[in-house]
């Protein structure tokens, strides 16, 4: 599980950075990737990356400001031409379906794959046997949502040495034990999964926030997250401007990460006044003074989602 940023600028693109979009790569876990927001030129950024639109499974939109959705119609239209034939689901606030329908209808775009659009107002947005996605409303000029992606715990690894001691060889019995089923041995003994399985592998949690001022739902979404992605539109000397524009500063993002007990923080959604990574260094330094495990999002770089031990 890795994050790849396809755009890190706020409001408008610059020569150095594109507007907001990020990919959660889960190729080992489910052979797909998910997209969070889709600012203008996101599909161009994907062409510059190792991502393939044919592997895109889901898109989560945080809010309907243009720098987060103007790339969506083009990407949806192009996906089929890049080998995308499987179902694609878009999740977002009320209004996202109308935006997509009108854009595709007026442009007479033909979608050759199944496209589902799910509008939500927070709560449990998606769940399957491996992962759950929850959402809460944030504090922005329009309804903006954050997403908490929780990977479910996995069974521990089989102890091959102990299995051999019980006379078991690789085969269907291994799978049954891994699934939590007990099996009867030839000597009449019952072998329970706890006899041969190590400790469960704790799932990871990633929190991706839309644009927001500091608010209580940020802390709820980021509670004990392995990785928090938080906007940092301004340095802290412009916190009054951040408040007026319904955004956060780098220090406020770091304070949220510390208060929520997050393990790592990545800052993104930077004002274009900070022209390049050199100009962003002071923003990083002031955030690290509050929360040391802070990084700056850099476009087309991979950030692993690390599995942190409890405590």
Alpha-carbon distance 89 to 311, whole Å?
A: 36
DSSP lists the bridge partners of residue 294 as 265
In sequence order, which residues have a C-beta less than 8 Å from that of residue 212 and are 6 or more positions away? 138, 139, 140, 144, 146, 218, 231, 246, 247, 248
- CATH code for the domain defined by 2-154+201-304: 3.60.15.10
pTM score of the predicted model: 0.90
Q: Which residues are annotated as a binding site?
A: 63, 65, 67-68, 140, 211, 269
Alpha-carbon distance 105 to 98, whole Å?
A: 10
Active site residue 67: yes
DSSP state of 55: G
- Angle, CA 198 vertex, CA 24 and CA 203 arms, to 5°: 20
Q: Which residues are annotated as a binding site for Zn(2+)?
A: 63, 65, 67-68, 140, 211, 269
Q: Which two tokens stand for residue 157?
A: 């690894």
In sequence order, which residues have a C-beta less than 8 Å from that of residue 85 and are 6 or more positions away? 54, 112, 113
One digit per residue, the tens of pLDDT, for the chain of length 311 reads: 999 999 999 999 999 999 999 999 999 999 999 999 999 999 999 999 999 999 999 999 999 999 999 999 999 999 988 889 999 999 999 999 999 999 999 999 989 999 999 999 999 999 999 999 999 999 999 999 999 999 998 877 888 888 888 888 888 888 888 778 888 888 888 888 888 888 778 899 999 999 999 999 999 999 999 999 999 999 999 999 999 999 999 999 999 999 999 999 999 999 999 999 999 999 999 999 999 999 999 999 999 999 886 44
Do 165 and 181 form a contact (C-beta atoms < 8 A)?
no
pLDDT at position 178, please? 79
Domain ranges of the chain: 2-154+201-304, 160-196
b/e map of 47-83 (b: 16 or more CB within 10 Å)? Answer: eebebebebbbbbbbbbbbebbbbbbbbbbbebbeee
Alpha-carbon distance 1 to 305, whole Å?
A: 6
Q: Which two tokens stand for residue 12?
A: 């408008």
């Amino acid at each position: 599980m890795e994050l790849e940023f396809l755009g890190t600028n706020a409001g408008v693109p610059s020569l150095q950075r594109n507007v907001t979009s990020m990919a959660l790569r889960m190729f080992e876990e489910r052979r797909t990737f998910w997209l969070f927001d889709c600012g203008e030129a996101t599909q161009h950024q994907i062409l510059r990356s190792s991502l393939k639109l044919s592997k895109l499974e889901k898109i989560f939109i945080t809010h309907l400001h243009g720098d987060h959705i103007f790339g969506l119609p083009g990407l949806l239209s192009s996906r089929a031409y890049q080998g995308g034939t499987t179902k694609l689901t878009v999740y977002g606030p009320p209004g996202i379906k109308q935006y997509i329908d009108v854009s595709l209808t007026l442009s007479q775009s033909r979608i050759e794959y199944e496209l589902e659009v799910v509008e939500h107002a927070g709560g449990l947005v998606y769940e399957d046997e491996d992962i759950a996605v929850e959402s809460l409303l944030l504090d922005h000029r329009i309804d903006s949502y954050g997403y908490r992606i929780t990977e479910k715990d996995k069974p521990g690894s089989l102890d091959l040495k102990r299995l051999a001691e019980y006379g078991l060889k690789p085969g269907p019995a291994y799978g049954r034990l891994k699934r939590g089923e007990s099996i009867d041995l030839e000597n009449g003994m019952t072998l329970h999964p706890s006899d041969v399985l190590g400790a469960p592998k704790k799932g990871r949690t990633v929190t991706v926030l839309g644009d927001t001022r500091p608010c209580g739902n940020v802390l709820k979404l980021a509670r004990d997250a392995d990785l928090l992605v938080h906007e940092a539109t301004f340095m802290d000397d412009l916190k009054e401007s951040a408040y007026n524009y319904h955004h956060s500063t780098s220090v406020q993002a770091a304070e949220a990460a510390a208060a929520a007990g997050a393990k790592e923080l990545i800052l993104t959604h930077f004002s274009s006044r900070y022209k390049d990574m050199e100009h962003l260094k002071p923003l990083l330094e002031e955030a690290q003074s509050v929360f040391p495990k802070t990084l700056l999002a850099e476009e087309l770089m991979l950030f692993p989602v690390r599995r942190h031990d409890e405590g």
